[in-house]
């Protein structure tokens, strides 16, 4: 009864995926634009651009009114009632420097977004490849099940004629039932990858879809690290370059503080006691170059130079670390390819011959069922191990592409 329930569950899952939408890897990556983390960076960049539009605003004017030089008398015959207006005009060079600085903030946000996008795309490719390999494992599992079912059927026929032992049949059944656990684990992992991919695409986590099982292995192990390409393609390095540019804009903004601001003041005085009305019209200018006022922006300019040096060193460190990781990945990919080739060209064919030899001996009544079952199990283990090497190779390929930001 349990076996029929497992078969029914498998058929229901197969029917669900048969009616599901097919999504190639390119379609999955294209749908990543709806990821909330990327949309958050889009909103942040738009906010920074909006802030920059108000950078050239002047200070609000100041208007005041009241008694001016009026004596303490009930009916004063001196002084006046004054209305006054003041306006400060920030130096245009300061406003332009501030605007350029605020515009530079969104450039950093764009590169931060691109860096995050590269990480998310790498995750999506990783989950997609893992799901493809898991489905290939299911195919291998079905092949093994077909072999075991054939052997079990043959063994039952032999049992009726006294040519087979009952313990061997129980062992074959145990091996067959063990495949059910493996299949359940594989289906669970496929569902997990399905949920992760839907999450990255910002879709309902339970939405089912099928994948393109075609895999392309790249020959990255023969490449040579090109630091110029790394510098031009990596978003984190471009982000540092934008940061350096921002610090240069910051230094221009600090340097602009040397320039004076201007102001104008106008007032009208309505005199008491028959005195003539009076007015005030004055201009003002700040003197930021005096020592007690210039000390701050001079210190800031010095600090900015050190920050630029820090960013330059950080960029060199990122390039150095990336070169090391790429070299290690190429070495690892070369090793995994050799292992995979060894499985496909030597180990699996040898185990296939072992199984066929044991099967032939069993059919000729010169061998036993446990030898055939061991041959099937060893062949199954080797095929699964080869797919594990394939998955490891694809993981290294994704890591290599993430370092170069190829997508």
**pLDDT tens digit string along 228-237?**
889 999 999 9
The confidence band for 15, taking pLDDT boundaries of 50, 70 and 90, is very low
DSSP string, 144-192: HHHHHHHHHHHHHHHHHTT-S-HHHHHHHHHHHHHHHHHHHHHHHHHHH
The residue assigned the tokens 């028959």 is 274
Residues 6+ apart with CB under 8 A from 31: 23, 201, 202, 203
Return the SS3 of 268.
strand
- Across the range 174-187, mean pLDDT stands at 94
Alpha carbon distance, N-terminus to C-terminus of the chain: 50
- Run of H or E including 141: helix 92-160
Compute the distance between CA of residue 294 and CA of residue 20 in angstroms, rounded to an integer: 69
> Does pLDDT of 146 surpass 90?
yes
Helix then strand then coil, % of the chain, to nearest 5:
70, 10, 20
Strand order in the sheet with 262-271: 62-68, 80-89, 262-271, 278-285
pLDDT band per the 50, 70, 90 thresholds, residue 8: very low
Share of the chain above pLDDT 90, in %: 76
Positive or negative, the CA dihedral 158, 161, 163, 169 is positive
d(CA 170, CA 176): 10
Sign of CA dihedral 36, 38, 44, 46: negative
Q: Is the pLDDT of residue 2 over 90?
A: no
What whole-number distance in Å separates Cα of residue 14 and Cα of residue 276? 101
User: Whole-number mean pLDDT of the chain?
Assistant: 90
The predicted structure's pLDDT at residue 19: 61
Region 46-70 average pLDDT: 92
Q: Is the pLDDT of residue 158 over 90?
A: no
Q: Is the pLDDT of residue 9 over 50?
A: no
Place of tokens 């390999």: 133
Residue 10 has pLDDT above 70, yes or no: no
How far is 189 from 403, CA to CA, in rounded Å? 27
Total-model pTM: 0.85
Chain center to CA of 162 = 64
Per residue in 316-364, pLDDT (tens digit) is: 999 999 999 999 999 999 999 999 999 999 999 999 999 999 999 988 8
pLDDT digits (tens, 9 = 90+) for 86-136: 999 999 999 999 999 999 999 999 999 999 999 999 999 999 999 999 999
User: Residue 273: which of 118, 114, 76 has the closest Cα?
Assistant: 76
How far does CA 38 lie from the centroid of its chain? 9
Query: Are the C-beta atoms of residues 32 and 38 closer than 8 Å to each other?
Result: yes
* For residues 3-24, average pLDDT: 55
Of residues 95 and 274, more confidently modeled: 95
Q: What percent of the chain has pLDDT over 70?
A: 95
> Are 78 and 69 contacting, i.e. CB atoms less than 8 angstroms apart?
yes
**Contact between residue 262 and residue 94 where contact means Cβ atoms under 8 Å apart:** no
Cα separation, 353 vs 369, whole angstroms:
16
Rounded Cα gap, residues 84 and 78, in angstroms: 19
Q: Where are the beta strands (DSSP E) in 24-142?
A: 62-68, 80-89
Question: Cβ distance 273 to 74 under 8 Å?
Answer: no
Please tell me the predicted confidence (pLDDT) of residue 219. Answer: 92
How far is Cα 278 from Cα 84, in angstroms, rounded to an integer?
Answer: 12
Q: What are phi and psi of 266, to 5 degrees?
A: -130, 140
In this predicted model, what pLDDT tens digit does every residue of 225-266 receive, in sequence order? 888 889 999 999 999 999 999 999 999 999 999 999 999 999
Counting other chains too, the contacts that 151-154 makes at CB distance below 8 Å and 24 or more residues apart are: 151/369, 151/372, 151/373, 151/376, 152/176
In the structure encoding, which two tokens stand for residue 304, read together?
């900015």
**Residues 301-320: tens digit of each pLDDT:** 999 999 999 999 999 999 99
**What's the average model confidence in pLDDT over 40-64?**
93
Residue 365 has pLDDT above 60, yes or no: yes
Confidence class of residue 75 from pLDDT cuts 50, 70 and 90? confident
All structural domains of the chain: 22-404 (1.20.1600.10)
Check residue 407 and give its pLDDT. 75
């Amino acid at each position: 009864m349990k076996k029929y329930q497992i078969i029914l569950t498998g058929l229901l899952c197969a029917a669900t995926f048969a009616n599901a939408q097919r999504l190639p890897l390119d379609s999955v990556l294209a749908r990543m634009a709806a990821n909330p983390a990327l949309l958050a960076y889009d909103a942040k960049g738009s906010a920074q651009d909006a802030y920059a539009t108000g950078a050239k605003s002047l200070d609000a004017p100041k208007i005041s009114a009241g008694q001016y030089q009026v004596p303490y008398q009930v009916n004063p015959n001196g002084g006046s009632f004054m209305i006054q207006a003041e306006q400060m005009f920030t130096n245009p060079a300061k406003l332009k420097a501030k605007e350029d600085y605020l515009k530079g903030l969104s450039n950093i946000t764009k590169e931060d977004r691109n860096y995050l996008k590269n990480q998310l795309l790498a995750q999506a490719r990783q989950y997609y490849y893992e799901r493809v390999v898991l489905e290939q494992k299911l195919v291998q599992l079905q092949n093994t099940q077909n072999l075991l079912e054939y052997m079990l059927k043959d063994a039952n026929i032999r049992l009726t004629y006294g040519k087979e032992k009952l313990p061997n049949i129980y062992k074959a059944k145990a091996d067959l039932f063990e495949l059910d656990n493996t299949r359940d684990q594989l289906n669970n992992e496929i569902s997990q990858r399905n949920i992760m991919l839907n999450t990255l695409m910002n879709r309902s986590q339970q939405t089912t879809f099928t994948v393109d099982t075609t895999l392309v292995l790249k020959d990255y192990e023969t490449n040579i690290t090109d630091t110029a390409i790394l510098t031009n393609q990596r978003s984190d390095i471009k982000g540092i370059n934008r940061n350096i540019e921002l610090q240069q804009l910051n230094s221009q903004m600090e340097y602009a503080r040397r320039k004076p601001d201007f102001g104008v003041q106008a007032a009208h005085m309505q005199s008491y006691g028959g005195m003539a009305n009076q007015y005030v019209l004055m201009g003002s200018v700040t003197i930021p170059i005096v020592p007690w006022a210039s000390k701050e922006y001079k210190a800031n300019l010095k600090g900015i130079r050190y920050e630029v040096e820090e960013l330059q060193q950080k960029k060199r460190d990122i390039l150095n670390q990336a070169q090391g990781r790429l070299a290690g990945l190429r070495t690892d990919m070369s090793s995994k390819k050799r292992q995979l080739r060894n499985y496909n060209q030597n180990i699996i064919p040898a185990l296939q011959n072992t199984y066929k030899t044991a099967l032939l001996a069993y059919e000729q009544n010169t061998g036993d069922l446990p030898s055939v079952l061991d041959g099937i199990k060893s062949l199954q283990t080797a095929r699964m191990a080869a797919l594990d090497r394939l998955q490891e190779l694809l993981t290294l390929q994704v890591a290599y592409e993430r370092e170069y930001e190829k997508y």
